[in-house]
A = this chain, B = another copy of it.
Amino acid sequence: MEKKAEKKQEKIEEKGKKVTFNISKEKNFSEWYTEIVQKAELGDIRYNVKGFIVFQPWSVMSMEKMYHYMEKTLQRKGHKPYWFPTLIPEKNLKLESSHIKGFTPEVFWVTSHGNDEPVEEKLALRPTSETAFYQMFSLWIHSYKDLPFKTYQRANVFRYETKATRPFLRSREFHWIEAHCAHESEEKAMLQVKEDMETTREVLHDIFGLPFIFFERPSWDRFPGAKRTFAADVLNPDGKVVQQPSTHLLKQDFAKGFNVQFKDKDGKDKFVWITCYGPATSRIFASVIIVHGDDKGLKFPWKIAPLQVVIVPIKNEKKILDEAEKIKNNLEEKDISAEIDLSERSPGDKFYFWEMKGVPLRVEIGEKEIKEGKLTLFRRDIGKKEVISNLDLLSYVDKTSKEIDKNLIKQADNLFNNRVVDVVDKKQLKDSIDSGKIARCGFCSVDEDGAGCAEVIEKEVLASVRGTKLEKETPSGKITKCVICGKKAKEVVYVARQY
């Protein structure tokens, strides 16, 4: 049996096109990821600046759709789009001390221009844009009537990462959205934080199909300059979590540093409360690949698929190609992206290829289909074929596209939920983390007092305290003691391994 499979593989390779993809995502996750990025032509790591990649069309087309949904949602909630300069003066970064401390090690600096003439002052390639936005906030915000002042920008940002880079997951340049908002009070700012969490659920979960838990990070793991930090963790098949959007309630140090004041209803000048929210599109794309893909390659949710329908003519005959063209036009008229595969590959090779590329729907047309007025439809998400009347195509696609997304979300949710387990002591904690789980447990404290126990987890379990849920869970049932020191648990926390 194996021999036969090998033969088949060889035969395909002989034609000069190795089209099959078959790597176990569960068993060899790291290899699977490296290979699919290359095979599906998502990103090219051969660009000659360390830590930078070229984003290729198949990923860019999907990420453009992701931007569309993220921006539409933010705009619907009252955020206005800006494009800020890429360069930020060093003095701006220095204005908030924990911020400069946190980001300096990662900054790329522009120091000269032309024939090595020095620039007037050292300029940072933005690692994030708090210190660019807030100096402008001080010019734009005057009165309580200007609040809330809700902004965002689509931008590329730069961080000199010292950890190993991986395409989409961690690069020295990545593509994101950063939303910055000014509010009249801490309470209003916290409502913004909650809105950001809802936005994350509406877009990342309900459209992109990514399950996550939104945690409040412990005190030792806050964003530089934040009073409270919240972040969504997505789980990879190797049991490690990836941090996806984070949203922060900033300390007023920024507002004070940049003098962002407003005249309140009572006539007094007050400093605003600022929140910032940062969904990293290129990293979210990594999670889309990882969460939905299988051993045969990619699986795209319908709405963010670079191509939604591929049409494979079984033979390159005029009658068949005319019908394919007609179908393509009908679909495109309904704003569904469709392409006919006219390459020289065999139909079988085309099937493998587009399954690997993750196209949600395939239409097959051969002589049989033409004669009978039928079409064969293949769903990538469940790997099944269905024969329908060609008159039903549009209604079938309309219905099925919704089913595909629902199914992908359900599969992902089930997998995620099954991997969150309760543990009561260090041994259980270590065992479940080692078997790729997120562990839920009691913990002494997420303030500085708990830092010691967190360190034990870092060193002995090789994992980290991801935080607490915003809707605080009270220790109860089995979970009453700190999983490390055994003292009475003040918190229910989640522990996971990260990259």
Interface status of A499 (Cβ within 8 A of chain B): no
Taken together as a complex, chains A and B put the C-alpha atoms of A89 and B88 apart, in Å, by: 21
Taken together as a complex, chains A and B put the C-alpha atoms of A104 and B175 apart, in Å, by: 27
Contact A115 B110 (CB under 8 A): no
Contacts A109-B111, A110-B109; is A44 near B87 (CB within 8 Å)? no
Taken together as a complex, chains A and B put the C-alpha atoms of A48 and B123 apart, in Å, by: 11
Contact A136 B46 (CB under 8 A): yes
Contacts A57-B81, A60-B81; is A105 near B114 (CB within 8 Å)? yes
Contacts A54-B136, A114-B104; is A61 near B46 (CB within 8 Å)? no
Interface status of A387 (Cβ within 8 A of chain B): no
Taken together as a complex, chains A and B put the C-alpha atoms of A56 and B158 apart, in Å, by: 22
* 0 or 1 for each of A95-110: is its CB under 8 Å from B? (1 = yes): 0000000001111111
Contact of A173 (CB < 8 Å), options: B53, B86, B120, B160: B86
- Chain B residues within an 8 Å CB radius of A86: 86, 125, 156, 158, 173
Interface status of A85 (Cβ within 8 A of chain B): yes
Contact A108 B110 (CB under 8 A): yes
* Other 11 A-B pairs with CB < 8 A, given A48-B92, A105-B114: A46-B139, A47-B84, A49-B88, A54-B84, A85-B173, A86-B86, A87-B108, A110-B110, A110-B111, A110-B125, A114-B160
Q: Can you list 24 A-B contacts (CB < 8 A)?
A: A44-B136, A46-B136, A46-B139, A48-B92, A49-B87, A50-B120, A54-B84, A54-B85, A57-B80, A60-B81, A86-B86, A86-B158, A87-B108, A87-B173, A106-B113, A106-B114, A108-B119, A108-B123, A109-B110, A110-B110, A110-B111, A110-B125, A113-B160, A156-B156
The 4 closest A-B pairs by CB, nearest first: A57-B80, A55-B83, A52-B85, A113-B160
